[in-house]
């Protein structure tokens, strides 16, 4: 979900509106219009009432993204990662982080809930996003805000990707030494699957906005304000109407991601955010009821394909980058 507002975990609003308003007005380098302030404040006080069973793209969507990504890895990725057994495992583990959100494990659920979303409007109010999680947390706490109300999605995703890259580097080393690679192969499969969950979350427009479950702020187009759109769009509609062939047909060609991965991933999230209003437009014409419409089905398949394509490319890039020499931490000291 694009939210920490699971009914069983977070009954209160995501953040204190007065504090965020004060922060935004104090930021000298950040230009804020009154309409922007109104939008953010409305998003804060509009708390979601999502069904407890709602879980991001739902079981079906997450499994689909992971399966298609793993099935389309290029041939120069190690063979063990392209076996049917590996693909099946990566598919099964797609929903895994949502399995950690049960009230039976309250500490785990609370700790990792913010890692599924980021409300970009709130994050951007603090300034440019730093690359390191604790640098962001320091900014949030300095502004007297709560990071669980803003979200930590890009940092979690980047950190899991770096775990994957580190495991792939270890695989290369062990193989070069003629040693057993079976244990690290299992680690790589797990990290690739774990990564897939967050990359899929990042393709869902309602995971990157304060409008995560009902329109907030000025609403001249009369979009729904009911706290039902998030679950309706990503779970029952996907399960009933979206099939692997629909999504596979919309995947992009394999590419190596150039430059810094955190920057590339944040750009991916910002592209996702450009579709927020489209979700509401489709909902307004009944696009997520029953079989929906041809446009809503095509849109949803494209969003899932974006997630599968990005996941495949991130796995591929981790493999290529894992061959690079490790920088000397003591160089120049």
pLDDT band at 55, cuts 50/70/90?
Answer: low
Q: Where are the extended beta strands (E) located within the chain?
A: none
Per-residue b or e along 21-47, where b marks 16 or more CB atoms closer than 10 Å to that residue's CB:
bebbeeeeeeeeeeebbebbbbbbebb
How would DSSP label each residue in 13-31? -SS-HHHHHHHHHH-TTS-
Is residue 210 within 8 A of residue 216, CB to CB? The reply is yes
Task: Examine the pLDDT at 5 and tell me if it is beyond 90.
Answer: no
For all residues of the chain together, what is the average pLDDT? 87
Is residue 1 within 8 A of residue 51, CB to CB? The reply is no
Is residue 3 within 8 A of residue 231, CB to CB? The reply is no
User: Taking every pair of C-alpha atoms in the chain, what is the biggest distance, in angstroms?
Assistant: 66
Read off the pLDDT of each residue in 267-280 and give the average, rounded to a whole number: 98
pLDDT in tens, 9-36: 333 334 443 344 344 434 433 334 434 4
Q: Which of 44, 57, 56 is nearest to 18 (CA)?
A: 44
Task: Examine the pLDDT at 204 and tell me if it is beyond 80.
Answer: yes
pTM of the full predicted structure?
0.85
The torsion region of residue 15 among left (phi > 0), alpha (psi -120 to 50) and beta comes to beta
Q: In CATH terms, is domain 17-321 a member of 1.10.575?
A: yes
Cα(333)–Cα(331) distance, rounded to whole angstroms?
6
Cα(38)–Cα(29) distance, rounded to whole angstroms?
19
Cα(162)–Cα(154) distance, rounded to whole angstroms?
12
pLDDT in tens, 277-327: 999 999 999 999 999 999 999 999 999 999 999 999 999 999 999 999 998
Is residue 245 within 8 A of residue 68, CB to CB? The reply is no
Is residue 244 within 8 A of residue 67, CB to CB? The reply is yes
Q: How is the chain split into domains, by residue range?
A: 17-321
């Amino acid at each position: 979900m694009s939210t920490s507002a699971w009914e069983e975990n977070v009954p209160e609003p995501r953040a204190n509106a007065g504090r965020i308003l004060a922060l935004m007005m104090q930021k000298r380098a950040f230009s804020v219009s009154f309409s922007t302030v109104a939008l953010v404040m409305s998003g804060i006080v509009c708390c979601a009432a999502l069904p407890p069973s709602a879980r991001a793209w739902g079981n079906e969507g997450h499994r689909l993204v992971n399966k298609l990504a793993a099935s389309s890895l290029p041939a120069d990725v190690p063979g063990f990662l392209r076996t049917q057994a590996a693909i099946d495992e990566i598919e099964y583990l797609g929903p895994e982080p949502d399995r950690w959100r049960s009230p039976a494990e309250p500490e785990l659920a609370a700790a990792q809930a913010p890692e599924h979303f980021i409300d970009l409007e709130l994050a951007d109010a603090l300034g440019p996003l730093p690359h390191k999680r604790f640098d962001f947390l320091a900014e949030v706490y300095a502004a007297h805000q709560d990071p669980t109300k803003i979200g930590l999605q890009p940092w979690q995703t980047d950190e899991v990707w770096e775990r994957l890259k580190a495991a792939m580097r270890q695989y290369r080393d062990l193989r070069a030494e003629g040693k057993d690679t079976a244990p690290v192969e299992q680690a790589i499969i797990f990290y690739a699957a774990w990564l897939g969950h967050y990359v899929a979350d990042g393709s869902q427009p309602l995971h990157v906005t304060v409008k995560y479950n009902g329109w907030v702020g000025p609403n001249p187009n009369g979009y729904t304000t009911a706290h039902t759109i998030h679950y309706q769009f990503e779970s029952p509609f996907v399960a009933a109407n979206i099939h692997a062939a629909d999504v596979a047909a919309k995947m992009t060609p394999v590419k190596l991601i150039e430059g810094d991965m955190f920057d590339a991933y944040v750009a991916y999230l910002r592209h996702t955010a450009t579709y927020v209003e489209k979700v509401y437009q489709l909902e307004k014409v009944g696009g997520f009821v029953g079989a929906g419409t041809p446009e809503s089905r095509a849109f949803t398949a494209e969003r899932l394909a974006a997630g599968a394509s990005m996941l495949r490319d991130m796995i591929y890039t981790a493999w290529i980058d894992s061959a690079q020499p490790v920088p000397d931490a003591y160089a120049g000291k």
